[in-house]
Structures are given as C-alpha cells and as structure tokens.
Amino acid sequence: MKSIFVSAALIAAADALIARDSTCCFHLTASGGPGGVVGQLSDGQNRIGQTSGLANGQGTYCIDSKGGLTDGNGRGCILTPPTTQFQCDVGASPTDGFSVSCDGALSYKGNTDFKACPTGDNGGYNIYTVAPAGQGGCVSITLGADNCKSGCPAPAPAPKTCPAALSGAYEYPHLIVPVDSKQPDKAFGTQYNGTVSNTVSSLFNFDIPSSDSGKTCSLVFLFPEQKNLETSSFDFSGAGGIDFAMLKGPASSGTTYNNKPGVATDYGVTKVAPGTSSVIATFPCPGNSAIGFSLSASDNTQFSYFQDYNPSPIGLYITVC
C-alpha cells in the first residue's frame, strides 16, 4: 500500500515537471483605449492606463499547454463570472483557451478583441472579453505579447546549392583584372583571361541585379577538358590548388596588387583539374550590388584560361536558383 502511494506521488511530480516545462512567459501591451503595458493591482486585477496604485507596473503571464495563464505571482488568471473581467486570483485554476499567434496577438478562444472599460481609479481600465452590460466608456483593444508566439511558418530552409553548370540562371564576371606581387603597383586593366601563378592572382567582379534578391547564389568554377572547348583554351600545370576568396569590395580597371580590396571571406583551397566543376560557396544573392572575388594559386599551380560561356563553359560563374 505504502509503495503504491509513493509511486503515485512520483507520477504526480513528473506530471508537474512536464506542465512547468511546457509553459512560456510574456508581458502584454495593449493597443487601443489608453494603450500601454498591462500592469496589476495587488489583488491581481489586470489594468491598463493606470497612473498610480499598481502593485506591479508590468505583469508577467505564463501560458501552459492548455492555454491557461498564470501570473508572475503564481496566481491563475481567470475571466471572472459574470463580467468576464481578466484577473489573476490567488488559488484560482487558470481559464483555458488563450493563445499567442505568430504576430504576438493574444487571443481567447480565437478572438483577439478584448474590451477595456474605465474604472475611475487613477485612469485605469479593466480588461474583459465581453463589455459588461451597463458599463460605460468601454473600448475595443488588442493585447500584444512579447514572447511565446506560436503558429509561425517554419524558418526558410538553409540555402541549397545551385548547379555547378550553366543549366539555369547564372551571372558571368563583368571585370577580370590580374594583380602581380612582382609588379605591385602595376594596373593590368581588364582581361579576358583568368590567370594564377606563383605571383599572379586574378580578381573577378560580378554585378548581381536586384532581380536576384531573395534568391540563392553559388560561386562555381567550371573546368572542362580541352577537347570539350570550342572557342576557349587553357594552360594548366601544377597540382591545381586554387584559393578562392570573396573580397570586401569589387575591383576596378585601376586595381593593383598594392591597392586591391581586402579579403572578406576566404573559402580556402579547392583542387581544380580538367573535367571538374566545383561549387566554391553558396550564399544569399546580394541583389543590386557589385561583388568581387579573387583566385590565387597554391602548390605551384600555373593556370591561365580564356573565360568563356560558349560550350563547354570555362571559368568562374555565379549560378542563381
């Protein structure tokens, strides 16, 4: 008998723990009527607009899994019969059926419309779900919660990767400029070739149109075999390590090794070889902006190619999806 009693007490304790874990707490602010934060009198009546005499200038309300509210003093919040006044009473079981929508609006049984009626006490208004008969001066209000929002759509999925091929929408570079650490103040100006060597890096500008805003962009490097190139060619030697980086800004035709934009994000070394295509990085398309990237050799890679989107496309592109 005794052991059964203990088990029941343990189950009750576990239930209490679950109930407490499923609560979430918020403050309320009224729109309409006198507006402003919802405070409380010492007896747990919830008030808006009251300039003095509140025990608690801003009430805290915790909502449980059944939509019952308990205030910061542990009092159950009820809609007192027969007037439906919203107050939190010592020892009361909370009235179920409240919820907080994704935009923060508190509702009772799906209705976000509450009534505020003047009390004559320091400008304070009581809160009801239904304006009591014979009570003058009541106005419609809504109550906004600052937490515990529910029913919000799932967050946008993590960016997928756009194709490492020009099969869909894409952007091509509008400027390619090499810089050479052996000639650090020389501006080579716009080139058609991408070139990397022990001393030469190439900077690529892309102009992302505003129509790409909200889409996903993948920086891709396409490197077909020579036999698949119709209008391009390349010279390639070494192990094929290329360090790709996003720059802090775009290059210009006057860019030199010494004045080139700094690195914003270094994507590290990708091994390229004829017959490979690589997704270097994927990010939200920065619509309506010019962005710059740099390609630098590692492992004694020497590589020069004619950037070309004719079959098969070769070089650095941004695919959009």
Ligand X SMILES: *[C@@H]1O[C@H](CO)[C@@H](O)[C@H](O)[C@H]1NC(C)=O
**Cross-strand partners of 282:** 218
**Amino acid at site 221:** F
Q: Of 19-27, 79-87, 261-269, 301-309, which part binds ligand X (CB under 6 A)?
A: 301-309
Phi and psi at residue 188, in whole multiples of 5°?
-80, -15
Q: Does 233 bind ligand X (CB under 6 A)?
A: yes
Q: Does 99 bind ligand X (CB under 6 A)?
A: no
Nearest distance from C-beta of residue 232 to ligand X, angstroms: 8
CA distance 208 to 259: 23
Nearest distance from C-beta of residue 258 to ligand X, angstroms: 22
Nearest distance from C-beta of residue 304 to ligand X, angstroms: 4
**Cβ atoms < 10 Å from Cβ of 196:** 24
Nearest distance from C-beta of residue 257 to ligand X, angstroms: 17
- The DSSP output letter for 164 is S
Which are the contacts of 171, defined by CB distance < 8 A and separation ≥ 6? 206, 207, 208, 209, 212, 217, 317, 318, 320
Nearer to ligand X, 283 or 306 (CB): 306
CA distance 293 to 220: 11
Q: Of 1-9, 60-68, 134-142, 300-308, which part binds ligand X (CB under 6 A)?
A: 300-308
By CB under 6 A, what part of segment 121-160 binds ligand X?
none
Q: Give the one residue of 146, 225, 235, 266 binding ligand X; rule: CB under 6 A.
A: 235
Q: Give the one residue of 86, 234, 244, 257 binding ligand X; rule: CB under 6 A.
A: 234
Nearer to ligand X, 298 or 304 (CB): 304
Q: Does 301 bind ligand X (CB under 6 A)?
A: no
Q: Give the one residue of 126, 193, 270, 301 binding ligand X; rule: CB under 6 A.
A: 193
Nearest distance from C-beta of residue 308 to ligand X, angstroms: 10
Q: Give the one residue of 267, 283, 306, 309 binding ligand X; rule: CB under 6 A.
A: 306
Nearer to ligand X, 131 or 314 (CB): 314
Beta strands in 57-199 (DSSP E): 61-63, 69-71, 76-80, 85-89, 98-100, 106-108, 114-118, 125-128, 139-145, 170-171, 175-180, 193-196
Nearer to ligand X, 99 or 307 (CB): 307
CA distance 62 to 80: 18
Classify the C-alpha dihedral 304-308-311-315 as positive or negative: positive
Upstream peptide bond of 184 is cis (omega within 30 degrees of 0): no
Q: Of 33-41, 111-119, 231-239, 284-292, which part binds ligand X (CB under 6 A)?
A: 231-239
Three-class DSSP category at 213 = coil
Interacting residue ranges for ligand X, rule: CB under 6 A: 193, 233-235, 304-306
